[in-house]
Structure 1
Amino acid sequence: MFKLMLQFIQVAKTQNVTQAANQLCLSQPTLSHNMHKLEEKLGTKLFNRNSKGITLTSSGELLYEQAKMMQHLYENTLHKLEKHKLRHQTELKIGCGDAWWHLFVRDCVQDFRQAYPQSNITIDVGDHLQLMNLLLSDEISIFVGHEILGLAQSEDILFHPLFTSQEEVFVRQGHPLIGVNCSNEDIARFPSVDLGASKSRFAHLVQEQNEKLTSFQKRHYLQEKVKYNTNSLATAIDLLQTSDAILPYPASMKDYFARFDLVPLQMQECFSTATIGAYLHKDSQQNAESSELLAQFKVLCNNLTW
């Protein structure tokens, strides 16, 4: 029936069966037969036929107006379906740590949004173990974070190194250690802010900790030491501003922290280094959006001068 209506619209528009048939790639007898069939189905005469051609009857005029509305609705529906399909085909679900969001992931997501304005975008910002859990459950398709030392082996996860990051120890202006050439023992005397999700919640993601991790714990997070744990960067900044706590964090956030009067301590040796990279679920290798974003990360990180 809908096909007959589309043919009727063309005949009504041209008021010439032969011309309409040519435009519809039909034979003239076939189109004439179809118009007679439409009149029979509707039980009304649609055309005045004479030797000079055809004109629309009052019923034909009414049907023509309604049919054009139906055609417009149909075409609009197809357009919306195409946009819906495109939105989900190019959907991006990404995760990253606070530092990497501020430093470069935000710019890459902005470029992606401009390239795919109809796409859904989901952004999870948090701890690398929390993001790994989301990746394994397919809630995100790519995330940028620290290489997870002691990560339980998984053939489904791929890690793409991007750069090496050094950590500094940040404190408030006026902290007792400002101006001191600090050792690890000096900073161990002060409370520390641990920015990240609860380690016990995601303990299943990490195998038994290796010597490097155990040493790190012993040197900087002594059992008797006061610790503030939060998964919010804004909360961590508030804690630093209102206490003598310290926060080990990527040195590349120095300019960002300066806005809040937080500064790095002078350390006798580098506090720690870590490899930063992108984790992808193996199936996401077939995801064009994640692969495209990974390529952007690599190009941008090669040009960074931190």
Structure 2
Amino acid sequence: MFKLMLQFIQVAKAQNVTQAANTLCLSQPTLSHNMQKLEEKLGSKLFYRNSKGITLTSSGEVLYEQAKMMQHLYENTLHKLEKNKLRHQTELKIGCGDAWWHLFVRDCVQDFRDTNPHSNITIDVGDHLQLMNLLLSDEISIFVGHEILGLAQYEDILFHPLFSSHEEVYVRKDHPLLERVCSDEDIARFPSVDLGASKKRYAHLVQQQNNELSTFQKRHYLQEKVIYNTNSLLTALDLLQNSDAILPYPVGMKVYFEGFGIVPLKMKKCFGKATIGAYLHKDGQQNKQSIALLEQFKELIKNNPQIKGKE
């Protein structure tokens, strides 16, 4: 029936069956037959036929106005369905740590928004173990974080290294340790802000810790040490501003932290180093969007020395 209505619209526009048939790529007899069939279905005469062509009857005029509305609604529905299909086909589900969001991931997301204005975007910002859990459960398709030492073997997960980063130890501007070059023993006397999700909650993701990880924990997170744990960067900054706590964090955030009155200590040796990269499912290798994001990450990192802490 709807097909007949579309043909009727062309006949009513042209007021000539032969011309409408050419537009519709139909033969004139076929279109004439279809219009007669439409009149029979509706039980109303739609056309006055004469040697010069056709004109619409009053019933034909009513149908023409309603049919145009139906056509517009149909085309609008098709457009919405296509947008909905595109929205889900190109949906971006990405995770990252606070530092990497600030330093380069947000620029990639903005580019994605500009290119795909009708696509859904899901962004999870958090701890690397929390994000790994989301990746394994398919709640995100890619995340940027540091290489997880002692990560359990997941054959369907791949890590793509992007760059190396080292950590500074950040404190408020009038912190007592700013007057000296600090050793590990110096900072061990002060509370630490631990920015991340509960380690116990995601302990199943990590195998028995290797020597490097155990040594790191023994040096910096002693059992008797006071820990302020939060998963919010702004909360961590508030804690630093109002206490003698320290926060180990990537060097690239130095300029950002200065705006909050938070500065790095002078350390005798590097506090810690990590390889930063992108985790994604192995089958994500075939995902053009994931590959495009990886290439975009590499380009932004190459052109932004601040990410690695270089100015």
Q: Report the TM-score range of the alignment, normalised by the length of the smaller protein.
A: over 0.9
Q: How many angstroms does 1:302 deviate by?
A: 2.0
Q: How many angstroms does 1:213 deviate by?
A: 0.7
The aligned runs of 1:118-267 (5 Å cut-off) are 118-267=118-267
Q: Deviations over 1:177-224 (max 9, x none)?
A: 012110000100111011000000000000000011110111111101
> What is the alpha-carbon distance in structure 2 between the residues aligned to residue 11 and residue 160 of structure 1?
61
The SS at the match of 2:159 is strand
> What is the alpha-carbon distance in structure 2 between the residues aligned to residue 266 and residue 99 of structure 1?
21
Q: How many angstroms does 1:283 deviate by?
A: 2.3
CA root-mean-square deviation:
0.7
> What is the alpha-carbon distance in structure 2 between the residues aligned to residue 304 and residue 206 of structure 1?
32
Deviating above 3 A after TM superposition, structure 1's stretches of 4 or more consecutive aligned residues are none
Q: Deviations over 1:27-63 (max 9, x none)?
A: 1111011100000000010001122221110000110
Q: How many angstroms does 1:7 deviate by?
A: 0.5
> What is the alpha-carbon distance in structure 2 between the residues aligned to residue 129 and residue 169 of structure 1?
22
Q: Is 2:3 the partner of 1:30?
A: no
What amino acid is aligned across from residue 232 of structure 2 in structure 1? S
Gaps of 5+ in 1: none
| 2:87 match | 87
Q: How many angstroms does 1:285 deviate by?
A: 2.0
After the TM superposition, which of the residue ranges 115-124 and 296-305 deviates more from structure 2? Answer: 296-305
Do the aligned residues in 2 keep the contact of 1:92 with 1:290 (CA within 8 Å)? no
| 1:48 match | 48
The SS at the match of 2:225 is coil
Q: How many angstroms does 1:303 deviate by?
A: 2.3
| 1:21 match | 21
User: Percent identity at matched positions?
Assistant: 81
Q: Deviations over 1:147-201 (max 9, x none)?
A: 0000000111010000000101000111110121100001001110110000000
Q: Is 2:77 the partner of 1:74?
A: no
Q: Deviations over 1:226-245 (max 9, x none)?
A: 11111000110011111100
Gaps of 5+ in 2: none
> What is the alpha-carbon distance in structure 1 between the residues aligned to residue 49 and residue 252 of structure 2?
81
Would you say how many aligned residue pairs link Structure 1 and Structure 2?
306
The SS at the match of 2:104 is helix
The SS at the match of 1:138 is coil
> What is the alpha-carbon distance in structure 1 between the residues aligned to residue 109 and residue 202 of structure 2?
27
What amino acid is aligned across from residue 26 of structure 2 in structure 1? L
* TM-score (norm: length of structure 2): 0.97
Q: How many angstroms does 1:304 deviate by?
A: 2.6
Q: How many angstroms does 1:112 deviate by?
A: 1.0
* TM-score (norm: length of structure 1): 0.99
